[in-house]
Structure 1
Amino acid sequence: MPTIGFLYPGYGAEDDYPYLQSIVPGDVRLALVHTSVGVDAHEVDALLDLGRSERLLEGAEALRADEPDAIMWACTSGSFVFGLEGARRQAAEVGDALAIPASSTSLAFVDAIQHLGAERVAIAATYPEDVSRHFRKLLQDAGITVVSLVSHDIETAALAGELDDDGVVALAESNNPEEAQIVLLPDTAMHTARIVNRLEEALGKPVLTANQVTLWQGLRLAGIAPVIPQLGALFAKNTTAVTQ
């Protein structure tokens, strides 16, 4: 049975993953472990600590018994604060520990945008402005144009996880300029998995959310390319499998 491992920091929207498990076709298994958290804060120093090697490698070791075929660091802010090359090194270190392909949510956003053939995106972020700018820079360093960034100054992952569906839609609608081909919602602590199609209908374009792209990348790394109608434009066509 193909298995995708997820390293999820603390608690917020981890219940997106049982739902994702229920809609993934075939016999794919999603295995999730919670990595440790020092301080739950959308602050750069706290996020650098959240994504440090010791926390991720401890989580990877906890997944070893599940024998995953690929592993994802299911955290956007705890990867993008390291920059594009830092995020790549972070993922490589985790993958090397288990000798399997690895990536992170930030890197998944880059690959998902490119997969959809987009060049211009808008970001509707839960984070404070100084944190959000790190995500914008990672995307720009990957050759993606960020036409607009709106930050909502939600101070912790726990608070982001308390947003209801209407709140998530309103957050997405806060930054939907016409020139943006895709709108990004980059927080794995925010519940989005069940409402991707609602978001795309409300905005009239593809919407990429953190837990959606994390699943997509994990499947992709394992060579699995399902069509999942509940998960919007990203899963509407077969994904080219990659190797690493």
Structure 2
Amino acid sequence: MTSHTPPRLGMLTPSSNTALEPETYALLHGTNAATAHFARVPVTRIALDGDSDAQFDPGPMLAAARQLADAKVDVIAWNGTSGSWLGVERDRALAAAITAGTGIPATTSTLALLDACAAYGVTRLGLALPYTRDVCERIVDTYAKEGITCSLAEPFGEDDNEAFARIPAAHVARQAEQAAENDTHAVAVLCTNVHGASEAERLEQALRIPVLDSVTVTLWKALDLAGAAPRLTGHGDLLRSGSLRALIQDTLTGLLAATGADRTTFRVDLPELGLHVDLTAGEALRPGVRPIRRDASLDQRNLNTVVWLEQHRKPLIQPHFHVDPHPPQALVDVYGVQAQMLAPVETGGAMTGWISVHSMAERDWTPTDTAALDDAVARIRTAL
């Protein structure tokens, strides 16, 4: 692929699906971000029985993937959500088989949704679904095994795949609104043959949480795997900032492992991407540690430790909190932090944000710990 050629995205498409192609073209229109190329595999009915399950045999999908490989696509995605009721391991095995057979990175709509949930720290997900209730309940069980608790709007109760696309977008939007409960972190419009992509931006403004439409999610992950790291506007937060959030999350997870700390976070002011320091842009936790991700109760820029970072523009290494600058008392009393490392992240001469590394016990941070922090700062600064 030459530098001026947009990546080619190969999409394996259910044969009776009429929504995902026009929705994908609409999301890409006017962006030059990528071109999308489709191959169909026979799928007409969604149910919990052997005939329905047989539609998702990997054989026809691998044959279609090889045809897409003839077009020298840069990524191949199964643009269907069958893994959400047949089991995520089915999709992981399918993606691995596609890559083994073609040498091309691969994903699926279900794997992409799980990656989006990881990027946003979603563990409570509202579901808007067209399927029959037994399929919907199986989907809830599948996501529970992945650590995601789901609330379910009343499903449309359809089993004819072609009929899903006939559900008006306004009805899909109302269902998504019903799926958003008080403690829901995000809502997923989970099916690639319903018209949810065009509603995501408006719904997010109303619900104030991410709306993860399956067509959009699959496109996002395909672009990400192709190295495009999309920052597309007008279609919801995932296409605008999801790839940056995913990189931040991956960096924080690596930093947590490298330091053996209890929590790592990153805060940043990027208003054009909807990111503000009073809420974290990412957080990684050891099991059992209380999350801080959605606590916006503190004025972060005016904290003693952050003022110190702004003045000194170097890492603040605190094996304990016996001397200045003291952290906010809530960090100790509510979240149990007894030691921390903080490091500024600068762009264009300004301190855009900072990384925090928390320990629930006093500890002497080692040169290995501080080196890992420096590496994380460099990776995030490059991404910004």
Once the two structures are superposed, residues 67-109 of structure 1 have per-residue CA deviations (whole angstroms, 9 ceiling, x without a partner) of 1111100001x22233121221122112222111111101111
Distance 1:75 1:58 in 2: 16
Distance 2:94 2:52 in 1: 13
1:15 and 2:19 aligned:
no
* 1:71 match: 76
1:92 and 2:99 aligned:
no
Distance 2:169 2:33 in 1: 29
Structure 1: where are the runs of 5+ without partners?
A: none
Q: Which amino acid aligns with 2:38?
A: L
* Structure (1 or 2) with the larger CA radius of gyration: 2
CA 80–118 in structure 1, closer or farther in 2 if over 3 Å, else same: closer
Contact 2:154 2:175 in 1 (8 A): no
Higher relative contact order (CA 8 A, sep 6+): 1
Instruction: Give every structure 1 segment of 4 or more consecutive aligned residues whose post-TM-superposition deviation is greater than 4 Å.
Output: none
* 1:226 match: 230
Distance 1:98 1:143 in 2: 31
Partner of 1:234: helix, strand, or coil? helix
What displacement does 1:214 show?
0.4
Task: Provide TM-score, normalisation by structure 2.
Answer: 0.58
**Residues 11-90 of structure 1 correspond to what in structure 2 (within 5 A)?**
11-13=17-19, 14-23=21-30, 25-37=31-43, 40-45=44-49, 46-76=51-81, 78-90=82-94
Aligned CA-pair RMSD: 1.9
Distance 1:52 1:228 in 2: 34
Q: Which amino acid aligns with 2:94?
A: Q
Once the two structures are superposed, residues 117-171 of structure 1 have per-residue CA deviations (whole angstroms, 9 ceiling, x without a partner) of 2221111211112111232223222222224454221222211101222111122
Partner of 1:177: helix, strand, or coil? coil
Q: Which amino acid aligns with 2:40?
A: H
Given candidates 180, 183, 189, the residue that maps to 2:193 is 189
Q: How many residues align?
A: 238
Distance 2:189 2:33 in 1: 29
Distance 1:19 1:120 in 2: 29
Partner of 1:231: helix, strand, or coil? coil
* 2:217 match: 213
Structure 2: where are the runs of 5+ without partners?
A: 251-384
Distance 2:136 2:9 in 1: 28
1:161 and 2:165 aligned:
yes
What displacement does 1:52 show?
0.9
Distance 2:130 2:33 in 1: 34
Distance 1:50 1:66 in 2: 25
Distance 2:115 2:47 in 1: 25
Task: Provide TM-score, normalisation by structure 1.
Answer: 0.89
Q: Which amino acid aligns with 1:174?
A: Q
